[in-house]
Amino acid sequence: MSDFDAIDAQIDRVLRHDTSLRPSNSNESLFLNSVKNNLRNVFKYRNSELRRTVVNVVPVDKINDEVKRKRSALKSKCEGEAYDVSQRDLFVFELLAWFKHSFFSWFDKPRCDRCSNLEMRFDSYQKPTAEEISGAASKVECYKCSSCLQHYRFPRYNDPLKLLHTRQGRCGEWANCFSAILYALDFDARFILEFGDHVWVEVYSDSQKRWIHCDPCENAIDSPLMYEHGWNKQLTYCLAFSCNEIQDVTWRYTSKYKEVMRRRAHQCREHWVSHLMLKVSEILQAGYSQEQKQKFMERRLNELVEFIWIPNQEKVVSENELKGRQSGSLLWRIQRGEVDSNITNKEVGHVFHMTNKETKIAYNCNKDVYKFGDKTIKGWENGVFSYCNLFRKVEHDWKMCYLSRCESLTPQTGTVIWKINFADVTCWTEIDLQLKCQTYGSGVIDFLLTANPEAKQFQLKPNTVNTIKRSDVSNTCVEFVIKATLYGGDSDVGWQHAQLFRQSMLESMLAVFVA
């Protein structure tokens, strides 16, 4: 008998005796089954072997060292200001990045290990074997190679202990495994089920006295409106599951309250949902001390205050929450309607103002930072004057990163412009520019330098040092405008065939673009 079996039996007893808790339609029956299945899954986090395995696979000491380094840097930066950054909150931030970039991997389609064909296609669902059932696999996806007809089985495991070994899957596996890791490391975590087919995690911050959204698939933290505004999801229910409660947290993830309520009106009775969750939470907390129950109640009351909707007062949607989904293949995301349809087109307006002291500008794509004299600018887009249809792509499987056009089945042109002003430089004889790039197939990157104010233009060669001498421009020249244009490319991945600042994620060297 599992830890949850006794809880399950008690829920059934309550349902038999309390007629108001019984489902009244098929939607409520499905809702109840989903509640019980997800609770059964989170009870697996109590496994003592799971805790031992997590301690062995998670580089806790290394993450703590990084947390201390960043906390120290933040403290120095905030000197003289209020400084109160929780070490545990920073640990979750670093743990999330490690899980995304170094531990778990996304599964779309397998590569045939016989002929290395990339086009293995979904063939059918099959029943799990006894061994797969032991890993709580409810179904198995079967793929077939289009060249040699070899088959590949992908069990959808639900056992977090199994996932610590397989380390791959889609959002269900990602959230399940990350929740289990948080639980094993003594964080209060909740598994979040969104009824429109996505899952993620929440972790409680003792310092902030609130639950914080974490999506391990996206390496996103504290961006709860991303699903509704970036992914265009039509939310109905977002339920939070832990070993001590079940909560309806939909109101954290929406700013369109009336639309959500209209959709929910055709699903389940609101009073029934509230009654069910309160009763199940009461059953889950039966074995806890009065002090612990009081803590759960205070958290819940604070959360309810957070959820209060004030008419005519809109939530502020951050820029990160407007982005479409990043994990998974483009076709898969298009089919799910979770791709941001807007092409990024922004005028940031940043200009590098050179002085006699500052003689070098360099960009490191791996760390995503500019070095400009003794200054550091984080984020490639924060150092440009303007850009259109461009983003920073990270290939975790190949350990490479670069700037490329936004994903599209029909690749469009992408541009980025940097401005360098040297009006404050007393004298200069020449400026060297080196712009690193990589193209494939029919992909092309053109570089053009314009010397203002006379607008004299120079075509720059990629991957080589371009020297502009003082004698090449007029005496009134005070500004260079460097424009990179990315276009061309073949097939539905043609957007990747023009790559700017391609760099290995294992390299720490700077890719100099202006020296």
Any idea which residues carry the catalytic annotation? 171, 198, 215
CA dist 129 → 134, 141, 145, 162, 515 (Å): 9, 12, 22, 15, 61
Q: Where do the DSSP E strands lie in 280-384?
A: 345-347, 352-353, 361-364, 369-372, 375-378
Distance CA 200, CA 143 (A): 26
Biggest CA–CA distance in the chain, Å, is: 93
Phi-psi map region of 500: left, alpha, beta (phi>0 left; psi -120 to 50 alpha): beta
In contact, 341 and 404? CB cutoff 8 Å:
no
Buried b / exposed e along 487-500 (16+ C-beta atoms within 10 A): bbbeeebbbbbbbb
Looking up tokens 């120079």 gives: 458
Looking up tokens 């906390």 gives: 71
Residue 56's H or E segment, with its range, is: helix 48-57
SS (H, E, C) 392-441: EEEECCCCEEEEEECCCCCCCCEEEEEEEECCCCCCCCEEEECCCEEECC
Token pair listed for 139: 């179904």
Of 306, 297, 308, nearest to 210 by C-alpha is 306
Burial of 380 (0-12, 13-18, 19+ CB in 10 A): buried
What are the residue ranges of helices labelled H in 268-342? Answer: 270-284, 290-307, 330-336
Residues pairing with 141 in the sheet: 125, 154
